[in-house]
Amino acid sequence: MNTFPLFFKLEGRKVLIVGGGDVALRKADLLSRAGACIIVLAPSISHEIQALLSDSKHELIYKNYNKTYMTDSRVIIAATDDETLNHQIHADATELNIPVNVVDTPHLCDFIFPAIVDRNPIVIGISSNGKAPVLARLLRARLETLIPQGYGKLAKLAGEFRSEVKAKIPTLTGRRQFWERAFEGQVSQLMFAGNEKEAAAQLKLDLDSTTAAITAKIPQMIMRLALLRNPLQPLLP
C-alpha cells in the first residue's frame, strides 16, 4: 500500500477550503455530507457554493488567503488554480501539522479523496493514489450496481440492536454467529425486499430465541462445572 485508508470523523469539525469555484464546490459537497463545519475562503465564491452552504454552521469569507484562517481546522483543502498559492497553503498547513489536500496535486496531499460508494452508514472508499482517478470512478460505478441501498438500512438496523445484542449474548463468538445469521438469512431478505418493519421484528424474534437458548443451557453448564470439580459427587448419597 502506498497510502493507508482511514475514515475521518468530521461531524461538527472545522474544515477550511481555500477557493470558491467548481473544484471547491465538489469538495464542499462531500464534506458537508460528512457533517463538517465548512469555511470557504476566497475573494469570489460561486452561487452554487453559497446555496450548498447556506446553513448557519458554515461560513463564507470573501477575502484573499491568510494562514490565520487555518486555526483549529481539522483538515484543509487547497482548491485554487494558483499553483504558487497552493504551494503556500501546503507549506503553512504542514508547519501547523494540519492534514492538507491540494486538489489534483498528489505530491502535495497528506490525504486523498477516494471515489466513494455511500450506503450510509456503510461507506466504501476506492483510491488509485492519484495514478488513475478515472479508473477508481469506474470501479465505484461497478460496485454501486453490486451493493444495493438495503445494505445501508441493514447496517442501521444492526446499530439499533447492537447494545441489546451485546447485553444478551455474552460471548464475542456468540454475537458474531448471531449477526452472521441475521445478515445472511431472513432479516436481510426482508430488508432488501423493502420490508423494514418486518426485518426489525424478525431480528427481535431471532434475538429472543437466541437468548432463550442461552438461558436453557446455563443449568447444564453449571452441572458440567460441578462434575469437573468433583466427578464422584453424583454417586454420593
- Give the DSSP H/E element, type plus range, for residue 31: helix 22-33
Closest to 38 (Cα-Cα) out of 6, 22, 61, 68: 61
pLDDT band at 103 (very low <50, low <70, confident <90, very high): very high
User: Does pLDDT of 133 surpass 90?
Assistant: no
Domains (range + CATH), the chain:
14-113 (3.40.50.720), 150-235 (no CATH)
Q: Taking 70 as the threshold, does the pLDDT of residue 230 lie above it?
A: no
* pLDDT tens digits for range 33-77: 999 999 999 999 999 999 999 999 999 999 999 999 999 999 999
Answer whether residue 225 shows pLDDT above 70: no
- How many other C-beta atoms lie within 10 A of the C-beta of residue 201? 13
Whether the per-residue pLDDT at 113 is higher than 70: the answer is: yes
> Which pLDDT value is given to residue 215?
81
What is the average pLDDT value for the chain, to the nearest integer?
91
Report the percent of the chain where pLDDT is more than 70. Answer: 91
Q: What is the pLDDT of residue 181?
A: 94
pLDDT band at 214 (very low <50, low <70, confident <90, very high): confident
pLDDT of residue 227: 58
Phi, psi at residue 97, to the nearest 5°? 60, 40
What Rg do the C-alpha atoms of the chain give, in angstroms? Answer: 26
* Mean pLDDT of the region 168-185: 93
Q: Cell 476566497 belongs to which residue?
A: 42
Specify the pLDDT at position 221: 55
CA dist 41 and 24 (Å) reads 10
Cα separation, 199 vs 115, whole angstroms? 31
Q: How confident is the model over 115-143, as a mean pLDDT?
A: 92
Cis status, amide bond into 121, omega within 30 of 0? yes
For residue 137, the one-letter residue type is R
pLDDT (0 to 100) of residue 2: 82
Task: Tell me the percentage of the chain whose pLDDT exceeds 90.
Answer: 81
pLDDT at 232 exceeding the cut of 70 = no
Predicted model pTM: 0.80
